[in-house]
Amino acid sequence: MQDWFYLVIGILAVAAVAAVVVVGLVSTRVRRPRRLPAEARADVIAPAPAPGEVAGPTEAPTEAPTEVEKSPLAPAEPVAPTIERPEKPASRMVRLRQRLAGSGALGRGLLGLLSRDKLDEDTWEAIEDLLLGADIGVAPTQELVEKLRTRMRVEGGDTPDARTVLREELIDLVDPAMDRGLRVSGADGQPGVVLVVGVNGTGKTTTVGKIARILVADDRTALLAAADTFRAAATEQLATWGERVGVEVVRGPEGGDPASVAFEAVKLGVERGVDTVVVDTAGRLQNKQGLMDELGKVKRVIEKQSPVTEVLLVLDATTGQNGLVQAKVFSDVVDVTGIVLTKLDGSAKGGIVVAVQRQLGVPVKLVGLGEGPDDLAPFDAAAFVDALLG
């Protein structure tokens, strides 16, 4: 009986050990990680490339790793920013001439009509319509047509030179006598202060960046003030413009007081003795009196440091009559001293140059002729008319 008892115990013990071994083997199989395909392994294991680094191949390196590769946290080698050399402004209008193709249709249309053998009433009416359609405005259109009528009648003779007459009269209308120089220098060693204003989306920030390039091209030192604190992206945008030409940008906290940013920038400009401080402002809707008052405040606060030498109003050439309404409101708040007409490359309405100058009695000083960094040109009446006439 005892033998039987020991035999049963022995069999049970052997069975228990066998069960433990089997369970152990099975669980080891279940827990062993699946082999991942090479690509998936790389996604999981490889560190994300550091900023500025280019993600390389994921295979194991065949050579000894470099210091940077050994430590994925090692900072990327600082890359010295490349400072660009902007184009000198003098030749820009000529280079950008073909961008006025839209407005060129006006010149070609007028020339075609004036060159007709017979200048009858229908032709003069068509000329008037062309001028009005190009946003020159009613009074300037009537003046021009009157002068053209007189000259074509008096000088007509056998072979009236329509092109010469038209060119002279258009240049006269655009007014070559206006002083279009940018006032970028201050008196008594103070910096010149250029305040750039206008409705949002007209191209103010872009224009400030382009003006910085003009100043650098003319070997002037400059400082930019990102006083458009309403739109964080505007500050970033300006910082990028500044970096590209090595011009410092003074910025404030998002939503902060624009007047304080402008004040700090001009103060720094005075301390450093820079030639020019250019101040970008927020795009303000003309019907928001509070915002317009704020613009007046920006100017007053700047002038505690140094006088504002130029107030540039940026207008989008494609907005036509609406742009003129904006222009009037801005000129009531700050003394606008010059106009920057942007997006003239995308407009068939070059006549707005004449209309806005008449409306404000202030010259167009710069024209935007594209989105390229150096597509801002000093305005020249004769070059503009020549571009219109093709």
Choose between 167 and 299: whose C-beta lies nearer to ligand GTP: 299
Determine, following the binding rule CB under 6 A, whether residue 374 of this chain makes contact with ligand GTP: no
Choose between 113 and 196: whose C-beta lies nearer to ligand GTP: 196
Binder of ligand GTP out of 97, 251, 343, 365 (CB under 6 A):
343
Choose between 119 and 313: whose C-beta lies nearer to ligand GTP: 313
Q: Is 344 annotated as a binding residue?
A: yes
DSSP code, position 8:
H
Q: Is 205 annotated as a binding residue?
A: yes
Q: CB of 181: closest distance to ligand GTP in angstroms?
A: 21
Give the length of the chain.
390
Q: For the chain, how far is it from start to end, CA to CA, in angstroms?
A: 125
CA atoms of 217 and 220, how far apart (whole Å): 8
Among 69-77, 323-331, 339-347, 355-363, which window interacts with ligand GTP (CB under 6 A)? 339-347
Give the CB-side neighbour count of residue 135, counting CA atoms within 13 A. Answer: 23
Q: CB of 287: closest distance to ligand GTP in angstroms?
A: 16
Characterize the bridge pairing of strands 338-342 and 276-281.
unpaired
Determine, following the binding rule CB under 6 A, whether residue 319 of this chain makes contact with ligand GTP: no
Per-residue x/- track, 268-307, ligand GTP (CB under 6 A): ---------------x------------------------
For residue 185, the cross-strand partners are 191
Q: CB of 240: closest distance to ligand GTP in angstroms?
A: 12
Binder of ligand GTP out of 49, 52, 201, 296 (CB under 6 A):
201
Return the residues of window 204-263 that contact ligand GTP according to CB under 6 A. 204-206, 228, 231, 234
Among 10-18, 146-154, 203-211, 250-258, which window interacts with ligand GTP (CB under 6 A)? 203-211
Binder of ligand GTP out of 246, 320, 346, 373 (CB under 6 A):
346
Which residue is closest to ligand GTP by CB?
A: 368
CA atoms of 18 and 101, how far apart (whole Å): 93
| Closest residue by Cα to residue 294 from 228, 370, 216 | 228
Angle made by CA atoms 274, 275, 276, in degrees to the nearest 5:
100
Determine, following the binding rule CB under 6 A, whether residue 369 of this chain makes contact with ligand GTP: yes
Choose between 141 and 318: whose C-beta lies nearer to ligand GTP: 318
Q: Is the dihedral of CA 205, 192, 254, 82 positive or negative?
A: positive
Q: State which H helix or E strand residue 250 sits in.
A: strand 248-251
316 and 201 Cβ atoms separated by less than 8 Å: yes
Residue 373: phi, psi to the nearest 5? -60, -30
Distances (CA, A) of 17 to 29, 281, 289: 19, 84, 91
Choose between 338 and 368: whose C-beta lies nearer to ligand GTP: 368
Q: Is 199 annotated as a binding residue?
A: yes
Q: In what order do the strands lie in the sheet with 364-368?
A: 248-251, 222-227, 276-281, 192-197, 310-316, 338-342, 364-368, 376-378
Determine, following the binding rule CB under 6 A, whether residue 109 of this chain makes contact with ligand GTP: no
- Determine the size of the site formed for ligand GTP (CB under 6 A): 20
Binder of ligand GTP out of 160, 246, 370, 378 (CB under 6 A):
370
72 and 197 Cβ atoms separated by less than 8 Å: no
DSSP 51-97: TTPPP---SPPSSPPPHHHH-TTSPPPPPPPPPP-PPPGGGHHHHTG
Choose between 235 and 276: whose C-beta lies nearer to ligand GTP: 235
Q: CB of 63: closest distance to ligand GTP in angstroms?
A: 46
Q: Is 284 annotated as a binding residue?
A: yes
Binder of ligand GTP out of 135, 169, 310, 345 (CB under 6 A):
345
Binder of ligand GTP out of 203, 252, 258, 351 (CB under 6 A):
203
Residue set of the binding site for GTP? 198-205, 280-284, 342-345
